Amino acid sequence: MNNTDNILAKVKDNKEIVGIIGLGYVGLPLAVSFAESGVTVIGFDKNQDKVDKINHGTNYIEDIRDAVLRDVVDKIKLSATTDFSRINECDALLICVPTPLDVFKKPDMSYIESACTEIGKHMKAGTFISLESTTYPTTTESFMLPIIEKESALKHGDDFWLAYSPERVDPGNKNFHTRNTPKVLGAMTPDGLKIGEAIYTKAIDSIHPVSSPRIAEMVKILENTYRLVNISLINELALLAGKMDINIWEVIDAAKTKPFGFQAFYPGPGIGGHCIPLDPFYLEHIAKKYSFDLSLIHTAGHINMRMPHYMYIKISTALNRHKKAVNGSKIFFLGVAYKPNINDYRESPALDIMDTIIHKGGNVSYNDPHISKVKTNEGNQFQSVELNEMTLKEADCVVLTTNHDAFDVDFITKHAGLIVDMRNMIKEGNDNVYKL
Amino acid sequence: MNNTDNILAKVKDNKEIVGIIGLGYVGLPLAVSFAESGVTVIGFDKNQDKVDKINHGTNYIEDIRDAVLRDVVDKIKLSATTDFSRINECDALLICVPTPLDVFKKPDMSYIESACTEIGKHMKAGTFISLESTTYPTTTESFMLPIIEKESALKHGDDFWLAYSPERVDPGNKNFHTRNTPKVLGAMTPDGLKIGEAIYTKAIDSIHPVSSPRIAEMVKILENTYRLVNISLINELALLAGKMDINIWEVIDAAKTKPFGFQAFYPGPGIGGHCIPLDPFYLEHIAKKYSFDLSLIHTAGHINMRMPHYMYIKISTALNRHKKAVNGSKIFFLGVAYKPNINDYRESPALDIMDTIIHKGGNVSYNDPHISKVKTNEGNQFQSVELNEMTLKEADCVVLTTNHDAFDVDFITKHAGLIVDMRNMIKEGNDNVYKL
């Protein structure tokens, strides 16, 4: 039996072991989805705290139900470890590590590099490897393959198979989760694709195969670039609409009645999260290699980067109408998560606005029912304060930065003296409410 | 009875007369929709030929069924005239005139101005007026109102009502036509809105009222700008993908499997038609007044303007691989309509590419089953030649510019020696097919 037949037979008999590298927002739901379907899963992470939590059945991701995690851990379908040598127990390795940007907005490939090195050192022959992290097209073939082949002294196609299958996790989405979101899969060889489909099918309802990893890499970039460009477009229009005395929210609601050729996006203080604000820079990175100028995407990224600054101007303008300066004023932010009803504040524009306000001499506080403390890019640290009549009244300006369902808009409107509403949370405006 | 009660009573009793000014792609379907519902319609146009055709029951718009037009003309529900003094017979006037750009890409408001002047001169008191043409926000209030009040010596609010209700005509759309496409309506006063809703409801199933004409004007601009920006984005990505050996069409098909937060757009030789390529310039025009820089929209417009040039490069590159230059080669274009299955070639990118090829010394011919002759922007005139084995074989390069259903792709692929496919019409590629 060759390696291909061997792994396919194992998968057919439900005897394969799936290793998930990186147990964050992407990796843990994926691990749980496999374990729920009866596959034995080993989760790898360098963070001892996360590993301990999982092994105790303690959930730390809002989109996973606690009972489900406890159940698959109790049944020993899912266990976690910091010991990467256990990679050699696995038949499939799915890499779900972060791909952040460095401070110069260049892709930080160190997590992928480290995962590939560990895999190369420890994996056995006959292993299927798939990257799920967002990255620039050609990463799988040109960046990962050489590292794994060098470290393992194994040969792709015969001894292991490499693929790319982008995660499509949308935290807080009530309708779509890991299992029922179709998954794109591009492998380097037909055998790799066949094996990848057999493995992923256990955790995901629908697999969409494509002809190469670079196609799959571009798919993810297209999806996220589409969102970045459209949010930037509506932010640009919102800023113009503000000058023209046009309520952009009413415009969007009306445009949505068009039954074809339109999808609504909403303005806000900027785009957060670990995907959309970053991906265009990944594409720009590789485009440079081809001497190609991505003018539209560059402009969209620029608008997004400027949004926190425009939001500072909005706050300053609102205070000015009350004859106050930012300098010395108390600014109370409601919501630091980058989108509603989640506990993630990575790349959240609220933090950038807070940093700017502090620079200008303002006193900053915040409340977020999902996040008890934050540290900004500039190192400022805050703890969530109570949201009550007193904290609202004491603030010179209350800024609505995240539209959490938990916020009682009527209560806030009643007690705050001045509000800047960046999320259209207050439908009936009054003189003390300034909208984006 | 005041003017408001009077016109509402007339509409209720089906005694109102609706005048439609401009009998093109927007006006004629709207006129037919009103007439079909039993409303008496007078169509106004300066073009005697169009007027004669309508009065003879001869249809010239592909989206209207010939029998339907004949029927409403036979029943004298719809008649047409070049005599604008008959405006005084009308209770409602719906303006569907063109709003092109001049050669410097500035809005050409002369058609709206002329319509408003005629209306002002001839209308009776108690008339409802609505503009449907795409234009920049504030046009209704700041451009139309003063002309009509001056010419008529009547007063808005008492003697007449002004509104804006953007057309959403999508030529060739099989599912959505005038009646079943929801219509946004913004009037200057509550009375005007009430009257407008009563009138439009006869021709349109669903009316979405908004709080002002400028909101409705911005809605149309948002809808079309969304399309321009997204087509420009996918064109930019397509050009990069070409360099990276990535089939952009496969990428789009895979991205479409994402069940939320994505809408597919397709690359092509550039955007044509009378709306999408023009509207951003309308918005830029008014943004200048507010000293506002629409960087994203500007960039999108720029990419679109450059596409015909890139397409020339594609053709030149394809010929080059056959050791031929554009200069002296025969280039045969299939399709000059700006989108499939329609007979409209306004702003069609095919024409710009043809002009460029002629500039560079190429010999140009075309076939379009829907358009028998064309005149390019530079004044070159062509007649559609037959599409057969000989015309395909004689061409040094066959360029697929419009994906009409009528084109037999297998036949074309079989007989053409070299093909540049700008519309992904040929699914199975071969060495003689170059894709965008």
pLDDT tens per residue, range B318-337: 999 999 999 999 999 999 99
The mean predicted confidence, pLDDT, of chain B is 94
Burial class for B239, CB neighbours closer than 10 Å (0-12, 13-18, 19+): buried
Compare CB distances from B243 to A206, A259, A290 and report the shortest one's residue. A290
State the nearest Cα–Cα gap between A199 and chain B, in angstroms: 19
Per-residue pLDDT at A425:
94
Please check whether residue B147 is in contact with residue B113, taking contact to mean a CB–CB distance below 8 angstroms: yes
- Compute the nearest-CA separation of B427 from chain A (Å): 14
Point out the residues of B that are catalytic: 275
Q: What is the pLDDT of residue A314?
A: 93
Q: Could you give the domains of chain B?
A: 3-211 (3.40.50.720), 249-435 (3.40.50.720)
Distance from CA of B208 to the nearest CA of A (A): 7
Q: Which of B237, B243, B253, B284 to mutate to test the interface with A (most CBs of A within 10 A)?
A: B237
Instruction: Please report the pLDDT score of residue A164 as a whole number.
Output: 98
**pLDDT, position B101:** 84
Predicted confidence at residue B103, as pLDDT, reads 78
Residue B397 pairs in a beta bridge with B331
Do the chains contact at A214 and B181, CB–CB below 8 Å?
A: no
- Residue from the list B225, B243, B299 with its beta carbon closest to the beta carbon of A292: B243
Radius of gyration of chain A measured on its C-alpha atoms: 24
Residue-wise pLDDT for B169-220, tens only, equals 998 898 999 999 999 999 999 999 999 999 999 999 999 999 999 999 999 9
CB atoms within 10 A of CB B245: 10
Task: Give the separation between CA B318 and CA B429, rounded to whole angstroms.
Answer: 14
- Residue B147 CA to residue B163 CA, distance in Å, equals 14
Strand, helix or coil at B40? strand
Q: Over 90: is that where the pLDDT of A427 sits? A: no
CB contact under 8 A, B259 and A181: yes
Work out how many CB contacts closer than 8 A connect A with B: 184
**Is the pLDDT assigned to residue B352 strictly greater than 90?**
yes
- Residues in chain B with CB shorter than 8 Å from the CB of A263 are 226, 263
Q: How far apart are CA A191 and CA A81, in angstroms?
A: 30
Structure confidence by residue, pLDDT tens digits, A279-313: 778 888 899 989 888 999 999 988 988 899 999 99
Q: How far apart are CA A394 and CA A3, in angstroms?
A: 69
- Global pTM? 0.92
End-to-end CA distance of chain A: 64
Mutation target for B interface from A230, A250, A296: give the one with most B CBs within 10 A: A296
On the 0-12 / 13-18 / 19+ scale of CB atoms within 10 A, B210 is: buried
- Cβ burial, residue B302 (10 Å; 0-12/13-18/19+): middle
Distance CA B345, CA B420 (A): 20
Amino acid B354: pLDDT: 96
Q: How confident is the model at residue B267 (pLDDT cuts 50, 70, 90)?
A: very high
The pLDDT tens digits of the residues spanning A3-27 come to 999 999 999 999 999 999 999 999 9
Nearest to A225 among B227, B233, B247 (CB): B233
CB crowding B251-268: b at 16 or more within 10 Å, else e = bbbbbebbeebbeebbbb
pLDDT, one tens digit per residue, over A207-265 is: 999 999 999 999 999 999 999 999 999 999 999 998 898 999 999 999 999 999 999 99
CA within 13 Å, CB half, A13: 9
Which of these ranges, A288-302, A402-416, B254-268, has the smallest mean pLDDT? A288-302
pLDDT at A391 over 90: yes
> Which pLDDT belongs to residue B435?
87
Q: Given pLDDT bands bounded at 50, 70 and 90, which one contains residue B389?
A: very high
* B347, pLDDT greater than 80: yes
Q: pLDDT, tens digit, for every residue of A122-156? A: 999 999 999 999 999 999 999 999 999 999 999 99
ipTM: 0.92
Q: Using a CB-CB distance cutoff of 8 angstroms, which residues of chain A are in contact with residue B294?
A: 236, 240
The pLDDT score that the predictor gives to residue B277 is: 77
Q: Is the pLDDT of residue B1 over 80?
A: no
Residue type for position B315: I
* Predicted confidence band of residue B62 (pLDDT cuts 50, 70, 90): confident
pLDDT value of position A435 = 87
Report pLDDT for B47: 97
Segment B211-234 shows an average pLDDT of 96
The pairs formed by B169-172 with CB atoms below 8 angstroms and a separation of 24 or more are B169/B25, B169/B26, B169/B29, B169/B63, B170/A260, B170/A261, B171/B25, B171/B62, B171/B63, B171/B273, B171/B339, B171/B342, B171/B344, B172/B62, B172/B63, B172/B339, B172/B340, B172/B341, B172/B342
Q: Which residues of B touch A175 (CB under 8 A)?
A: 259-260
User: Cβ separation of B255 and A219 shorter than 8 Å?
Assistant: yes
Helix (H) or strand (E) holding B293: none
Partner residue facing A260 (CB), from B176, B287, B296: B176
Catalytic status, residue A275: yes
Q: Nearest by CB to B251, which of A138, A222, A246?
A: A222
Residues A236, B175: C-beta atoms closer than 8 Å: no
Tell if the CB–CB gap between A295 and B295 is shorter than 8 Å: no
pLDDT band at A377 (very low <50, low <70, confident <90, very high): confident
Give the residue carrying structure tokens 């049944």. A75
d(CA B115, CA B162): 13
Is B65 strand, coil or helix?
coil
* CA geometry: angle A7, A8, A13, nearest 5 deg: 95
Q: How confident is the model at residue B431 (pLDDT cuts 50, 70, 90)?
A: confident
Interface-testing mutation among A258, A271, A276, A290, with chain B (most B C-beta atoms within 10 A): A258
Task: Pick A257's closest partner by Cβ from B175, B208, B232.
Answer: B208
**Does residue A16 contact residue A7 with C-beta atoms inside 8 Å?**
yes
pLDDT > 80? residue A1: no
Structure tokens at A137: 């097209």
Residues with Cβ < 8 Å from B143, sequence gap 6 or more? B109, B112, B113, B135
pLDDT of B430 strictly over 90 = no
Chain A nearest-CA distance from B388, in A, is 35
Q: How confident is the model at residue B136 (pLDDT cuts 50, 70, 90)?
A: very high
Does position B168 have pLDDT exceeding 90, yes or no?
Answer: yes
Q: Which residues of B touch A427 (CB under 8 A)?
A: none
List of chain B residues whose C-beta atoms are within 8 Å of the C-beta of residue A249: none
Q: What is the mean pLDDT of residues A335-348?
A: 90
Q: CA-to-CA distance for A344 and A62, rounded, in angstroms?
A: 10
What does the alpha-carbon distance between residue B249 and residue A215 come to, in Å, rounded to a whole number?
10
- Cβ within 8 Å, pair A251-B170: no
Note whether A252 contacts B303, CB cutoff 8 Å: no
pLDDT at A180: 96
Nearest to B93 by CA among B55, B63, B126, B53: B126
- A222: nearest CA partner in chain B: B255
Q: Which residues of A touch B210 (CB under 8 A)?
A: 250-251, 254
Chain B residues whose CB is inside 8 A of the A134 CB are none
A292/B226 CB distance under 8 A: no
Following DSSP, what letter does each residue of B149-191 receive, concatenated? Answer: HHHH---BTTTEEEEE------TT-SS--TTTS-EEEEESSHH
In the predicted structure, residue A273 carries a pLDDT above the cut 80: no
